[in-house]
Chain A
C-alpha cells in the first residue's frame, strides 16, 4: 500500500519568513495530494490540494508543487503569520487516503 513520509517533524520560523514542508510517497498510482492544517482540538482542515496532472498550484500565500517522477510534493507558505502556527499533514491517495506523520509549524512574532 501507499506510504507517505513527511519532513520536517517540527519547523520554527520568524513571522514574515517562508516555510517549506516536504513529503514523499511510494505508490506511483497516487493521483491526489491534499494538504491539511490541524489546530489544537480541531479536525484537519483542507487548505490546498493538487492532482497528478498538474505540477504546481497556488492560492494566495500557499502553494504546492508536485514532482511525479521523484514521487515528492511540497507545501510552501510565504509571508508566514502567527495564525499559520498549527500541525500540517500531507496525504496521498491512489484509493484510500494515506497521511504523513505531520509537521508542527511555529511562527514566532
Chain B
C-alpha cells in the first residue's frame, strides 16, 4: 500500500514570497491533516479535512495560510506572504475515517520550508 505522498520535499523562499505544498493521502483515507513541525518540537495541527470539508482549522493562521481539498482526495497548503517564523517542516497525514482524532494517522515525509 502506497503511503502519504508530499511534494516538494524541500523549498527555500524569501520572506514575503508565496509557497504551496501538495499532499496525496493514502487511497481510501477520508481524513487529511496538515501539521507544522518547528525544529525541536512536536507536530502542531494546522487544519483537518473530512473528505472535502474542514473539520478543524482553529490553529491555522488564516491571514497568511490557506488550504483546500478539492474532490476530497489531494490537498494543497499555501502560505502567502511567508514570514521567517514559518520556517518548519510541513507534514501531511491521513486516516481512514472519523472526525474524533482517534483513528491511526499516517504521515508523509514532509516538506522542509526555509524562509530567508
- The residues of A with any CB-CB pair to B shorter than 8 Å are 4, 6, 31-32, 34, 36, 41-46, 49, 51, 89, 91, 93-102
Contacts and interface: CB of A to CB of B under 8 A. Distances in A.
Given A99-B42, A102-B41, A43 B4 contact: yes
B43 A99 contact: yes
Interface stretch (B11-19, B69-77, B79-87, B105-113): B105-113
B102 A93 contact: yes
12 contacts: A34-B104, A36-B107, A42-B109, A43-B91, A89-B43, A94-B100, A96-B56, A97-B101, A100-B42, A101-B42, A102-B40, A102-B42
B88 to A, nearest CB: 13
A31 B98 CA distance: 14
B107 A96 contact: no
B46 to A, nearest CB: 10
Q: Which 8 A-B pairs have the closest CB atoms?
A: A99-B42, A43-B107, A32-B102, A93-B101, A44-B107, A95-B101, A43-B109, A96-B45
B48 interface: yes
A51 B48 contact: no
